[in-house]
Amino acid sequence: QSSVTLFGVVDAGVSYQSATSRNPVTGTTSKQSQWSLANSGYNSSRIGFRGTEDLGGGLAASFWLEAPISNDDGATGIANFNRRSTVSLSGGFGEVRLGRDYTATFWNDTVFDPFGTNGSGSSVINTVSGSTALGNTNYVRASNMVGYFLPPNLGGFYGQLQYSLNENTKTSATDTTAATSSSAGRYVGGRFGYANGPLDIALAVGQNVAVDTTTLTRKVQTINLGASYDFGPVKLFGELSNVKNKFDLAALGNSHDSYNGYLIGASMPVGAGLIRASYSTVRYNEGAVGVTGDDPRANKLAIGYVHNLSKRTALYATVARVSNRNDANYTGSLTAASTTGYGSTGVGYTGLPRSSTGYDFGIRHAF
């Protein structure tokens, strides 16, 4: 069927993760570790179907259905199209895209990270923003979205706007019940950038309504700025990120947690290979469950090497280390975000771990 392209990535590797916790009272430490055969250490394993139809007059219709797969254990096949499932109409006006897609605000986290939010090397900006404890279900992607993308011919300028429908039922008041309405699940975001020659720079803002009940409104607001510049022998990356978790309690007033992060990174081609390195940090500034001393801070240093056997097939090795400051005092919930994490399931701690180390060795094959 010529109108469909079947594509995918099968990425598997051996991963070792370890983390050291410290009892804040006695000072003794405990170590947890795990060996695993993991997927998606370099690129996310996936299978997808996509296609474009030329409608004439500059118009085109296209679709994109992409499923995450877990090829290490085979447990997840094409069970869902959570990675992306969209249908688009595009032309001189740009592109209108309907369905589930990446959020505008996630793009800067992954595009300007030399490790592309995959594997042990993924930045702490990514692991903090995506942590279950922060509870931003629309961090990476959102469903039921209407998106608009600028056309590609604007002299290097690019941009997108997105609105996800929350699909909640609105009810008018009756004799006995009050009117109900909720915005929970709604994501609104935008990204605007400029890419020309060696330079790429983009600013993104977004807001997800995580909870919206009569007693609590919780919104996660993200703003980030990323850039990369390719000097030829080396390409530099940088990102600034601010994520706010805003609790507006009807009874108790407001409380805002804030997570400020930055990343600097580099990649350097060496023959058929690519050396990658990044340093990222996130400072926790938590309102309600904060600490009395200095804000806790998670730092990650990651170094890796990718050896391309072909355009489609590569071997990779990554080592990353997270160190956490002011961990002894931390009583918040974002502990799991402070480990290298990739491939590990069930590694848990009491308090913020002191440090965590991850190693990945694998193969990525694309088709």
Q: What is the separation, in whole angstroms, between the first and last Cα of the chain?
A: 17
Strands, E, within 250-272: which ranges? 253-270
Q: 99 and 89 in contact (C-beta within 8 Å)?
A: no
CB of 350 to a copy of itself, least distance (A): 9
Interaction residues for a copy of itself, span 119-178 (CB under 8 A) = 141, 143-146, 164-165, 167-175, 177
Pick one of 99, 121, 304, 351: the residue that binds a copy of itself (CB under 8 A).
Answer: 99
| Residue 310 interacts with a copy of itself (CB under 8 A): yes or no | yes
Q: Which DSSP category does 180 fall into?
A: B
Nearer to a copy of itself, 22 or 297 (CB): 22
**Residue 1 has which token pair?**
């069927």
Which string of x and - marks every residue 188-227 that binds a copy of itself (by CB under 8 A)?
----------------------------------------
Phi then psi for residue 79, to 5 deg, are -70, -30
Nearer to a copy of itself, 51 or 151 (CB): 51
Contacts with 189 (C-beta within 8 Å, 6 or more apart), sequence order? 103, 104, 105, 161, 162, 204, 205, 206, 207, 222
Nearer to a copy of itself, 146 or 201 (CB): 146
Q: Which stretch binds a copy of itself (CB under 8 A): 97-105, 199-207, 283-291, 329-337?
A: 97-105
Interaction residues for a copy of itself, span 27-66 (CB under 8 A) = 28, 30-37, 47, 49, 51, 53, 55, 59, 61-63, 65
Torsion over CA: 74, 314, 139, 5 (sign): negative
Residue burial 91-111, b: 16+ Cβ < 10 Å; e: rest: eeebbebebbbbbbbbbbbbb
Q: Beta partners for 352?
A: none
Interaction residues for a copy of itself, span 11-30 (CB under 8 A) = 11-14, 23, 26, 28, 30
Q: Which stretch binds a copy of itself (CB under 8 A): 94-102, 193-201, 244-252, 255-263?
A: 94-102
